Structure 1
Amino acid sequence: MLRLPVNDATRVRAKSIATVEYNLDIDYVGDGVRDHRLDVLVPRGAPESLPVYVYFHGGGWTSGDKSSLTKYCASQAEEGMIVVNANYRMATRFQLSHMMSDGNDVLDWVARNISEFGGDPSRIVLGGDSAGGHIAALLTASAFEPELAAHYNISPRVDRSNLLGLVQHCSIADFSVMFERGFVLSLNFLRILLPARGRGLHLRSAARFMSPIEWLDSGFPPVFITTSERDYFYRANLNFIAALRKRSVLVDTLIYARNRVNTRHTWQQESRHPESQEVYRRLGDFVRRVAPRPVVLA
Structure 2
Amino acid sequence: MHRIQPGELHKFNVQPIDTVDYHLDLDYAGDGIRDHRLDVMVPHDAPEPLPVYIYFHGGGWTSGDKAPLTKYCASQAADGMIVVNANYRMATHFQLKHMLEDANEVLDWVARHIQRFGGDPTRIVLGGDSAGGHIAALLAASAYEPKLAAYYGIRPQVDPENLRGLVQHCSIADVSVMFERGFVLSLNFLRMLLPQRGRGLVLRAAARFMSPIEWLDSGFPPVFVTTSERDYFYRANLNFIAALRRRSIAVDTLIYERGQANTHHTWQQDSRHPESQEVYRRLGAFVRRVAALPTALPV
**Corresponding position of 2:3:** none
- 2:125 equivalent to 1:120: no
- Is the CA contact 1:268–1:279 (under 8 Å) kept in the aligned structure 2? yes
1: distance between equivalents of 2:197 and 2:11? 36
> How many equivalent pairs are there?
291
2: distance between equivalents of 1:14 and 1:74? 12
- Is the CA contact 2:12–2:270 (under 8 Å) kept in the aligned structure 1? no
Deviations 1:61-92 (CA, angstroms, capped at 9, x unpaired): 00000001000000000110000000000000
Q: 1:211 to 1:256 in 2, by over 3 A?
A: same
Q: 1:10 to 1:183 in 2, by over 3 A?
A: closer
**Corresponding position of 1:230:** 230
TM-score by length of 1: 0.95
Q: Match for 2:24: what amino acid? A: L
Q: 1:129 to 1:219 in 2, by over 3 A?
A: same
Structure 1 stretches lacking a partner, 5+ long: 1-6
Q: Match for 1:19: what amino acid? A: T
Identity %: 78
- Is the CA contact 2:12–2:269 (under 8 Å) kept in the aligned structure 1? no
Which residues of 2 match residues 127-138 of structure 1 at below 5 A?
127-138=127-138
User: How far 1:16 sits from its partner (Å)?
Assistant: 2.4
User: How far 1:293 sits from its partner (Å)?
Assistant: 4.2
Secondary structure at the residue paired with 2:197? helix
- Is the CA contact 1:50–1:293 (under 8 Å) kept in the aligned structure 2? no
**Corresponding position of 2:37:** 37
User: How far 1:13 sits from its partner (Å)?
Assistant: 8.6
- Is the CA contact 2:13–2:69 (under 8 Å) kept in the aligned structure 1? no
User: How far 1:11 sits from its partner (Å)?
Assistant: 9.7
**Corresponding position of 2:155:** 155
Please, what is the CA RMSD of the aligned residues? 1.9
Which residues of 2 match residues 280-295 of structure 1 at below 5 A?
280-294=280-294
2: distance between equivalents of 1:102 and 1:274? 33
- Is the CA contact 2:19–2:44 (under 8 Å) kept in the aligned structure 1? yes
**Corresponding position of 1:111:** 111
Which residues of 2 match residues 1-298 of structure 1 at below 5 A?
16-294=16-294
- Is the CA contact 2:12–2:271 (under 8 Å) kept in the aligned structure 1? no
- Is the CA contact 2:55–2:128 (under 8 Å) kept in the aligned structure 1? yes
Deviations 1:239-297 (CA, angstroms, capped at 9, x unpaired): 0000000000000000000000100000000000000000000000000000014389x
